[in-house]
Amino acid sequence: MSNQPNTRTRRRRGSAQPTLKEVAEAAGVSSITASRALNTPERVSEAARARVLQAVERLGYVPNLVAGSLASASSRFIAVIVPSLANAVFIEVIHGLQETFEAQGYQILLGNTDYDPQREYQLIRTFFGWSCSALVTAGLRHSGPCRTLLEGWEQPIMEVMELGQALDLNVGLDHRDAGRCMARHLLERGHRAIVYVGAGMADDYRAGLRYDGHREVLEGQGLAAPCLDIGRPGGLDAGARGLELALEHHPGIAAIHFANDDLATGALLHAQRRGLQVPGQIAIAGFNGLPLGQHVTPRLTTIQSPRHTIGRLAAEEVLRRLAGKAVRRRQHDVGFTLLEGEST
């Protein structure tokens, strides 16, 4: 199947958009000078720079970032993978990341696994195909193929939300410890019959870690630490259901430690509607410190997680690494704060 060289001219494909070459011609410089005028202006004389910028303006030139990325083998994309957009927690982390990265000219590529580990692998493959400068992912647990891909990758990897054995960089908090903290608080307030209620803790395994801490404290006091998982991550509705189920399965219960504020607030509002006294008849605690919980009556007892800070710090750490500077810490504990409300 040997072909003869084609001597006729082919039809061109390009669009009507002006290219850097045209800008350079208009400015009377070579294209590399035009490139430098835009990307590293300090390496070009003031005169040349001015003429290039003027030509850019006049022609309405918009740099083709795809071509630039191919040529430089780097894209100024930051891949961000979260398990859910429905959860305000991740939104705030994303916001913190976005602010910090965009200020440095990086663009976030957002991926949402919807708590499906398979999706993570797919997303990472796609993102690698975009020559991302770094990857930020929520959590430390990854599927086998995922780990293989990640370990073969040369760019910074930042795992956020929880602290632990990370692949590379790590910013988060100790969820087990947060669980312990709230369990201790509930004991201090005199509650003994305490149920931990989560939703989809197989997926939201950080809720499981908090339960582990919770149980450790209760069992340390010789108390039972029953756990109720009402299936699939959910919101206020799920909280209401959680309250009902907990009361049904555990009569004589004094307090419920919910896996998060959505559940806890849902339960609290439901208790109100049912006429149950909180914390008189049942104490309720949450986790996250969402604004919502601080506006209900009684105010929700919960643990404040510094979500925006996680995003900002993670971004700063990644940027420092990308700039080639030494990383202050590979691991960063952002801590948490117990918010003592009126619900416990």
Partner DNA sequence: TAGAACTATGTTAGCGCTAACATGACAGCG
Partner DNA sequence: CGCTGTCATGTTAGCGCTAACATAGTTCTA
Q: Which does 19 bind (CB under 5 to 8 A by kind): DNA, a copy of itself, none?
A: DNA
The option from DNA, a copy of itself, none interacting with 273 (CB < 5 to 8 A, set by class) reads: a copy of itself
Minimum CB–partner distance for residue 16 and a copy of itself (Å) = 8
Supply the minimum distance, in Å, between the C-beta of residue 65 and DNA: 8
Separation of CA 161 from chain center: 7
Shortest reach from residue 162's CB to a copy of itself, in Å: 22
Strands 302-304 and 337-339: antiparallel
Residue 77 sits at φ, ψ, to 5 deg, of: -100, 140
Which secondary structure element, helix H or strand E, spans residue 111, and what is its range? strand 107-112
- 297 is in the binding site of which of a copy of itself, DNA, none (Cβ under 5 to 8 A by kind)? a copy of itself
User: Given phi > 0 = left and psi -120 to 50 = alpha, else beta, which region is 81?
Assistant: beta
Query: Is there a contact between 32 and 3 (Cβ–Cβ < 8 Å)?
Result: no
Nearer to DNA among residue 19 and residue 143 (C-beta): 19
Q: Which is nearer to a copy of itself, 107 or 309 (by Cβ)?
A: 107
Summarize as ranges the residues that interact with a copy of itself (CB under 8 A). Answer: 13-15, 60, 62-67, 69-70, 73, 75, 85-86, 88, 91, 94-95, 98, 107-110, 112, 125-126, 128-131, 149, 152, 154, 235-237, 240, 265-266, 269-270, 272-273, 291-292, 295-297
Q: How far is the CB of 259 from a copy of itself (least distance, A)?
A: 18
Among residues 96 and 208, whose Cβ is nearest to a copy of itself? 96
Nearer to DNA, 51 or 332 (CB): 51
What are the φ and ψ backbone dihedral angles of 18, each rounded to 5 degrees? -65, 150
Which of the choices DNA, a copy of itself, none does residue 325 contact, using the CB cut-off of 5 to 8 A by kind? none
Nearest Cα to 243, choosing from 226, 255, 231? 255
**Cβ count within 10 A of residue 19:** 17
109/113 Cα distance (integer angstroms)? 13
- Residue 302 belongs to what H/E stretch? strand 302-304
Round to whole Å and give the CA distance between 37 and 16. Answer: 23
Q: Which does 104 bind (CB under 5 to 8 A by kind): DNA, a copy of itself, none?
A: none
Q: Is residue 244 classed exposed, middle or buried when 0-12, 13-18 and 19+ CB atoms within 10 A define those classes? A: middle
13 vs 328, which CB is nearer to DNA? 13
Residues of this chain that interact with DNA (CB under 7 A) are 1-6, 8, 10-15, 17, 19-21, 29-33, 35-36, 38-39, 43-45, 47-48, 61, 63-64, 67-68, 70-73
CB of 154 to DNA, least distance (A): 13
* Identity of the amino acid at 88: A
Three-class DSSP category at 54: helix
